[in-house]
Structures are given as structure tokens and as C-alpha cells.
Structure 1
Amino acid sequence: MDTQSSHRYSVAIVSRGDAAARRDATAQNSRFVRVFEALAAAGIAAQPAIYDESFTEAVREQLLAVDGVLVWVDPIHQGKTRAGLDALLREVAARGPWVSAHPDVILKMGVKEVLYRTRRLGWGADTHRYDSASAFAAQFPQRLRGDGPRVLKQNRGNGGQGIWKVEVLPNAPTTVRVLHALRGSLPEDMPLDAFIARCEPYFGWGGCIIDQPFQPRLPDGMIRCYMSGAKVAGFGHQLIKALIPPPPEGPDAPEAQPGPRIMHGPDAPQFQTLRRLMEHEWTPQMMKLLAIDEASLPVIWDADLLYGPRDADGADTYVLCEINASSCFAIPDEAPAAIARTVRERLVGARP
């Protein structure tokens, strides 16, 4: 028998929290409640799995007892990285349960290095990678002075951490104006050498720094293309304020706050060109380039795209800003059902 009510499959939804959150967690009080509901409707029994390094063993036992594991944990949270969790997820996956997104897949597509590796795809830009502090110090100043404002990104991070707009001040080639993408940041003028030294820690946790040109159409907003596996699950458009200098009133002024992310379903007319590009060109090309098969793509991920220069016909082009594969949330209304369909397909494939 294989009815939706039979719950042939079980999954755990992993998110970060403390011991109290783990004790009190239910599907109903979870921020993923709509995902829990969609999974139940698809015949999949789902349970919350709150994770912290202090109770790894309890989480290990829980994850080994289910068929699949879905993970929503940021790369960096209150000073904690995913190092311990990723080791646990690799162990769990090696012992049977299916894990999405697998840490090895995240390392291919969910880090800023993907911007460099896919720079020749249609979403690419003049992107460079610095693999060491010495290479960064030797190469970045000349590129900055010759190419205009640049955006630097540490390889692993979230919430704007380690992302900087950098530009040379007029008539002061050794001084730069920098603006951190963290909310509430203010522009800061400082010697270029001092800024380069400030970035050295990024080579520890992340291993490299990625360098892209600043996109002048940033005030037009960012399009978040939500994907479930290789199919578009929806879109979000937001007038972001990161890397845009705040008004004279300061970073707390209403004008400095990002606009709401307006969600759209996958069939939204204004995004059909982008949908075609994502489903039929860029995602398949990325999979081939990074050696990721479709069954390994995360059940939910997103490509954040900025508007590039208009083409000769006046149509929009797009530049990849980042891919989120570790903790892609909030999501469009249509996404939970898409997640449930993808999860069921994966579980059926893993255990018919």
C-alpha cells in the first residue's frame, strides 16, 4: 500500500537552537510549519531536530532513525560555524539516511567561490579569486585602481558578513572608502593596506576571497530565484540596501531600511525569461561544471541575481550575487509543496 496517509517515509528537519528549543520543538510551533504540513500531505512523517554542538549525540541518534534529513542552518550563527554539524551530516549520510543539502554539495554551489567557478556562464561577471592573503595584497590594489568599485566576499558567510564594497577615493590612490553589507553599517575611509589586513581572517574559515565588479543597478533591487532541485519554485524581488550608503539621517532612518521581499510563484509573467534561463541553461550548465547530479541538488536553494547592464535591445541581463544552499528561508507560498514533491521523489529513488 502506498497512500499519502500511510507515511512510508520519515524525515527530520534540522535547525539550530538550544536545549530548551529542542525540548519544546513541535511541527506546529516551528517556523517551518508550512513545510511540515506539505510533507504530511505527501505522505511523509516529519519531525523537528534542533541542533547544537552541546548535544550532538542526541541529534545523531535522531537522524540515524529517519529516512531523510533536511537542513536549515546558516554557515555562521552567533560566532558558531557549521564545522561540527557538517561532520555529523557526512557521517549520517554515509550510514544510510539521505541528506539535503549534503555538506559536500554546499561546498560546491553554496559558497561564494561558485561565482568564480561559474563566471563564464550567462550569469557571470568579471570575477576573480584570491587564494591567500599574499595574493590578495599583491593583486587587488591594481585591479581596484583600474576597474572601478569592487565587491569583495568571504567564501562562507551569511547576512552580509564579510561582504564589502570598496572604491578608491579621488586624488587619494592609497585610501579607500569601504562599506560593509551588514545592516547598519556606515561608509569608512581608511588606508588600503589597513583594509587588506582587515580581510586576512577570511582566508582561515573560508579559504579564499571572491572579487566582483560593483553593479550600478543595485538600487533596482535583487531577484531571488527559488529552486527545488532543478525546477523553479518561485521568485522574490526586494529593494535591498546592503552596499548602498545610508542617507544623512543615518542607517536607522526609514529610507535606509530594505523594502519587503515581494514573493511570486514560478509562473509570474515578469520572470519567465529568467525562469527559462535558470531551468534550461544556467542550472544544467552549473551542474555539469561542478559535477552535481540532479538528485544531489538541494530540495530548496536560491540564486540571488542583480540586474546587470541592459543588452543592445534594452532587455535586462542578470549577474549572480550568491547562491544560498545552507538555509534558504523565507520562501514563496508555492515552495513548500515543491519541496515535498522533491523530497518524495528523492526518498522513492533512495528506497523504492
Structure 2
Amino acid sequence: MSETKLFKVAVVWRGDRQARDEARGETSRLNAVFAALERQGIAAEPAVWSEDLADEVRAQLLGMDGVLVWVDPISTANGARRAMLDEILREVASAGVFVSAHPDVASKMGVKSVLHATRDLGWGTDTAFYETRDAFERAFPGRLSAGPRVLKQNRGNGGIGVWKVERESGGDVRVQEAKGGSEPRTLPLEAFMAERAADFTAGGGLVDQPFQPRHLEGMVRCYMSGGRVAGFGRQLVRALAPPEAGPAGPRLYSGPNDARFQRLRALMEGDWTPGLARRLGIAPDDLPVIWDADLLLGPRTPQGDDSYVLCEINVSSVFPIPDEAPQALAETTRKRLTAARRPRRLETPTLSNGETP
């Protein structure tokens, strides 16, 4: 008899001691991911993370064949960052455990400077990246004179550190932050730029893009598993819209074969994702097993087709996902684990005489 070989994977999300003790895959918000992994012959177990559980989580992850991570870089609940977790993930990966998204990949893809690094791909626009306060203060006023701009902190999520800025009368600007519940402000441009001083700490900086006039027509979220499209989400967004624009709409999900987005799918799979990997120095097989690209509608082409402008790439905690995406994620995970040739024996049959084969 041949032995049954499965892979063992930990699924990581943030929580506390009670959440860790009570965690079960089938009752978690990622239950569809657990089920899809099981269908691929992968045994998945929860690995709830917090900084005070670091030693316990580290020991658990070192015993895995793979680790899949759903932890925001900055917690919207308490502002906690994941630097300690990233160090553990690097250690675990160095020990031969497959990690997705690897923190070094996330640090390249999941920051706003990717918008500048890939600005000359087909999803790019007139994008600047200010690495220093001096560069920002010298160049931003001139760029703002051409029309409204959107500034984005290099690291952030949930609308944190994203502002629409447009000139008002005199030397004032009107500023709208994308974070939920933020009210527009009018203040001198110099005062607003002074507020941004903290954005130029180590690893920080600001990305500057033109505000897209078709913003109110909606955003398309393209869900990716490695280099292939796993589905789409279309939503009317209102994060930087005036109050009279009305409420945001729900994100409506569809699978990779949605006829409305086949041109976009071809661009993502055949052009933009390979271009992204080359620009950032990421091997195709190191692309995360689940990530997404948020794209605003740009000017229409001469043929009347939509163009797309990259708004953001999400890597660290991509959820929710379309119905088809968990299966794509699980298939990509199995292929990566198989390629690494690190199968773990979880079950060994017993012969009729009581001995193992």
C-alpha cells in the first residue's frame, strides 16, 4: 500500500489569546479558503497572531509546509503594525517553509511606490514619488497647478493616508482624506504640506497622481492568484467624492470569465502582471497566491474602450474574494508546495498484520 501524502499549511490572521484558543477553520471568516485547501489535499489549521503570542506562533509555523497570511500592515482597529510578524515569516521561509505573501514580496508590491515604479505600463499615469520632504515641497505646488491631485502615503490601508488635494482661491487648498468619516478641510497649501512632514520617515514617502475624472463611475478590483485572474469586483466608490455624489455602492463580484472584463483579463495576465514582476524583480512563482489590483477608469481609447489606471495593489490581507477565488488560491498553493517537494506525512495506512508499509 502507498502512503497518503498531504501538505500542512497554517492560515494566519490577527487576534488575541481567546481567539487563538477558539479558532476553527470551518467557522472562521476564511472558511471558504480552508475548504478549498482541503479539496486540494492540503490540511490547513488556524494560526491566530498577536505580538504577545509570537513565540507560540513561530513554533507553529516552523512545523508547517506552508504559511498563508491575512494580516494588515497597519491594523485599522488599533494601529498595530506587523514588523514582528514579518521577521518571523522571513525566518520561517529561510527554514524552507513556503510563505505567501512573503514579506519581501509584500514590501515591493503592497506599497504605493509601485504606482511610480510601473507608471509606464499600460495601467500607469502621470505619477511622481517624493522620497524626501524637500522634493515634495519643491515639486508638488507646480503639479497641483495643473489640476486636482491625489497624494498617498507609501504604506497604508483602509483609506489611511490618502488625500485628494485641489486649489481654492488664494493660496488655500481643499483637502479630502479617503479614510471613512473624514470631512473636507480648507487650509493654506503651506500648512497642508507641513502636516505631511511625518510621511517622510524611513521607508515612507508620498506618491502623487492626478485625480481621475471618471472616479464616480466606479472601480474594478481584479483578483489575482499568482499570474492568473481569479475574479473581479466592481464598486461605486465615494472615498474622495463630494457629499452630493451620494453613498458608495456594494462591491459586486464575478468570476474570471465575466464577459465585461475579458479585455482587462488579457491585459492583466499577458502584459501588466509580467511587467510588474519584471520591474520589481519578483520571480513569477513568488507572486502571492492571492492579491488584487484596484483600477479606476481612465480616458476612453479611440476605439471607445475603457482604459484603466492603477490605484492600489493589495497584498497583505486580501478579503473578501469572489466565489471562484478560493479554488484558484488553493490550486496555486498546491502547485507551489509540490514544486518545493516538501510533502508532509499526515496519515500512514496500517497493514492487516498491524505493521506500517
* Superposition TM-score tier, normalisation by shorter sequence: over 0.9
Partner SS, residue 209 of structure 2: strand
Q: CA deviation at 1:87?
A: 1.1
Partner SS, residue 173 of structure 2: strand
Aligned twin of 1:166 = 165
Residue type at the aligned position of 2:179: L
Residues 45-67 of structure 1 deviation map (CA, whole Å, 9 limit, x = unaligned): 00011111111000000100000
* Distance in 2, Cα, partners of 1:348 & 1:15: 24
1:7–1:44 contact (8 Å) kept in structure 2: no
Superposed, which structure 2 residues align to 1:35-114 within 5 Å?
Answer: 35-77=33-75, 78-114=78-114
The reply on whether 1:13 has 2:11 as its aligned counterpart is yes
Superposed, which structure 2 residues align to 1:178-217 within 5 Å?
Answer: 178-204=175-201, 206-217=203-214
Deviates more, 1:332-341 or 1:88-97: 88-97
Residue type at the aligned position of 1:152: L
1:351 to 326, 338, 341: 341
Q: TM-score, normalised by structure 2?
A: 0.93
Aligned twin of 1:310 = 300
1:301 to 291, 304, 308: 291
Aligned twin of 1:120 = 120
Residue type at the aligned position of 1:21: A
1:272 to 244, 256, 262: 262
Q: CA deviation at 1:203?
A: 1.7
Q: CA deviation at 1:94?
A: 0.8
Partner SS, residue 111 of structure 2: coil
Deviates more, 1:196-205 or 1:150-159: 196-205
1:236–1:332 contact (8 Å) kept in structure 2: yes
Q: CA deviation at 1:29?
A: 1.9
Answer 1 or 2: higher relative contact order, Cα 8 Å, separation at least 6: 2
1:178–1:188 contact (8 Å) kept in structure 2: yes
Residues 158-206 of structure 1 deviation map (CA, whole Å, 9 limit, x = unaligned): 000000000001x31x210000001111111011111112112122264
1:154–1:206 contact (8 Å) kept in structure 2: no
Q: CA deviation at 1:295?
A: 1.0
Aligned twin of 2:320 = 330
Deviates more, 1:237-246 or 1:191-200: 191-200
Aligned twin of 2:238 = 241
Deviates more, 1:225-234 or 1:15-24: 15-24
* Distance in 2, Cα, partners of 1:200 & 1:87: 28
Q: CA deviation at 1:7?
A: 5.3
Q: CA deviation at 1:246?
A: 1.4
Residue type at the aligned position of 1:94: S
Residues 133-175 of structure 1 deviation map (CA, whole Å, 9 limit, x = unaligned): 1211121112111x20000000111000000000001x31x21
Residue type at the aligned position of 1:230: G
Percent same amino acid at aligned positions?
A: 57
Residue type at the aligned position of 1:164: W
* Distance in 1, Cα, partners of 2:234 & 2:332: 24
Partner SS, residue 201 of structure 1: helix
CA 1:158–1:7 in structure 2 vs 1: closer, same or farther (change >3 Å)?
farther
Residue type at the aligned position of 2:192: F
Residue type at the aligned position of 2:102: H
1:153–1:211 contact (8 Å) kept in structure 2: yes
* Distance in 2, Cα, partners of 1:308 & 1:199: 28
1:218 to 209, 215, 219: 215
Residues 52-99 of structure 1 deviation map (CA, whole Å, 9 limit, x = unaligned): 111100000010000000001111102111211111111111112110
Gaps of 5+ in 1: 248-254
Residue type at the aligned position of 2:148: P
Partner SS, residue 333 of structure 1: coil
Aligned twin of 1:155 = 154
* Distance in 1, Cα, partners of 2:258 & 2:252: 12
The reply on whether 1:286 has 2:283 as its aligned counterpart is no
Residues 186-227 of structure 1 deviation map (CA, whole Å, 9 limit, x = unaligned): 111011111112112122264211000000100010000000
1:230 to 221, 227, 230: 227
* Distance in 2, Cα, partners of 1:327 & 1:159: 11
Deviating runs (4+, > 2 A) in structure 1?
none
Q: TM-score, normalised by structure 1?
A: 0.94
* Distance in 2, Cα, partners of 1:54 & 1:237: 38
CA 1:137–1:324 in structure 2 vs 1: closer, same or farther (change >3 Å)?
same
Q: CA deviation at 1:2?
A: 8.3
Task: Please report the RMSD computed on the Cα atoms of aligned residues, expressed in angstroms.
Answer: 1.4
Aligned twin of 2:253 = 263
Residue type at the aligned position of 1:280: G
